Structure 1
Amino acid sequence: MLTIHHLGRSQSERILWLCEELGVPYTLVRYDRDPVTILAPPDLRALHPLGAAPVIEEDGLVLAESAAIVESIAVRHGGGRLRLGPEHPDYAAFLYWFHFANGNLQPVLGRTMMVGRVGLPPDHPVQAAVQGRLDRVMALVEARLAEVPYLAGQEFTTADIMSVFSLTTMRLFQPVDLVPYPAIRAYLQRIGARPAYRRAMERGDPGFAPMLT
């Protein structure tokens, strides 16, 4: 049995969602953030030195890093579902957007959050550079979703599972106004209509309304 160690309102929602999409049974161990620091509790350090979620356990394997976990579960349990192979015309796009999530989208939001906490004025070079990068990243996602229904193309894939946290729950920590991005907002409505997404969010964060607008 797969065990998912899930930190509330975190990137580990990706793992619950993937398992719900694939119909993979799992045991959920849920952790709450420290109310003062907003960080993960010390219990997670007993599982992994970084003390962060997600972490999974399965057949003696302990694995961290959400992208590695998503890839492992999809390969071991997916039977080819939610992934595009080299023979698929959208394979390169699938690879690009899968890695874009943690290579660009999530890091730029994290940098924007940290720089914002310093309290620099908007015209400070560092603040301006970080905001400019965020604007370009969001514009790129918007342009892509104006062309196709899902990031890899016509099919929903793990590239979407990797990306949605940054466009939704991450905005608890770093607000981003989605009004200028109608294609992203329409995309999030499609995601929110997926039963597996709704089940994962309710199970992982009961009572928390997904930030789909």
Structure 2
Amino acid sequence: MIVVHHLNNSRSQRVLWLLEELGVPYEIQRYQRDTRTMLAPPELKQVHPLGKSPVITDGGRTVAESGLIIEYLVERYGDGKLAPPAGSEDRLRFRYWMHYAEGSAMPPLLLKLVFDRIEDGPMPFFIRPVARAIARQVKQSFITPQLQLHLDYLEAELGRSEWFVGNEFSAADIQLSFPLEAAAMRGGLDQSRPRLYDFLQKIHSRPAYRKALERGGRYDFGPKEALIYRLP
């Protein structure tokens, strides 16, 4: 049985979604973030030395990293679903998006989160003006332009086809869901980019996505109506 070591409000939500799309049975082992630091609890280090989510166990095998987990599950349990045929041009494009999501799209979003916290967080009064001025300058000169660059790129790519790899929904769309949801939450993605906005509406309406929300619990990056699924 596959076990998803699931951290609330994290990338592991898309692993649950993938498993629902594939119709593969799985169990959830839940972990809660520290309410002060928002970091994963130390118990996750008993599963993988880095102590981060997502991680799955499948029999005696432990698999970490979102892209690898998704590729592993599609190849082992997909039976040809949610990925283009091996060796095709679309398969190369599929693999590109699997790496792009975490390697290129997420870094500026993470930087924005860090510098937002520097700008808005508590600190000694005598360094507050300098720290906040530096944070604003870094965001204005580097982070915001990078976010705009990537959102423009992704918007244009969806002009080529209905989904990111073509006209068929694939696991690459699942992999890209988290950076796009994070961008909608804190990175400036809104209806001014209609293709990306429509992409989010489409994935949020999928039955498997909804089922994953029911099972996964609290997920602040999802649709606003997902409040009804959140656990106390």
TM-score normalised by the chain length of structure 1: 0.89
Does structure 2 retain, via aligned residues, the 8 Å contact 1:192–1:198? yes
Q: 1:155 to 1:137 in 2, by over 3 A?
A: same
CA positional deviation for 1:67: 1.0
Describe the superposition over 1:15-65 as per-residue Cα deviations: whole angstroms up to 9, x where unpaired. Answer: 101110001100111111111111111111111111111111112011211
Aligned residues: 212
CA positional deviation for 1:189: 1.2
Identity %: 38
Aligned CA RMSD, in angstroms, stands at 2.3
Task: Name 2:209's counterpart in structure 1.
Answer: 197
Task: Name 1:154's counterpart in structure 2.
Answer: 167
Describe the superposition over 1:114-155 as per-residue Cα deviations: whole angstroms up to 9, x where unpaired. Answer: 233333548725641121111100111111123321111111
Q: Which has the higher helix share?
A: 2
Task: Name 1:103's counterpart in structure 2.
Answer: 103
1:141 aligns with 2:141: no
Task: Name 1:128's counterpart in structure 2.
Answer: 141
Greater CA deviation, 118-127 or 108-117?
A: 118-127
Does structure 2 retain, via aligned residues, the 8 Å contact 1:189–1:212? no
Equivalent of residue 180 in structure 1, options 192, 202, 205: 192
1:115 aligns with 2:115: yes
Structure 1 stretches lacking a partner, 5+ long:
none
Task: Name 2:55's counterpart in structure 1.
Answer: 55
Alignment partner of 1:168: what SS?
A: helix
Does structure 2 retain, via aligned residues, the 8 Å contact 1:10–1:169? no
Does structure 1 retain, via aligned residues, the 8 Å contact 2:45–2:52? yes
Q: 1:54 to 1:81 in 2, by over 3 A?
A: same
Alignment partner of 1:90: what SS?
A: helix
Q: In the aligned structure 1, how far is the partner of 2:116 from the partner of 2:12? A: 24
Q: 1:193 to 1:171 in 2, by over 3 A?
A: closer
Q: In the aligned structure 2, how far is the partner of 1:127 from the partner of 1:178? A: 19
Structure showing greater radius of gyration is 2
Task: Name 2:228's counterpart in structure 1.
Answer: none
Q: In the aligned structure 2, how far is the partner of 1:76 from the partner of 1:61? A: 13
Structure 2 stretches lacking a partner, 5+ long:
120-131, 226-232
Does structure 2 retain, via aligned residues, the 8 Å contact 1:7–1:32? yes
Does structure 1 retain, via aligned residues, the 8 Å contact 2:22–2:78? yes
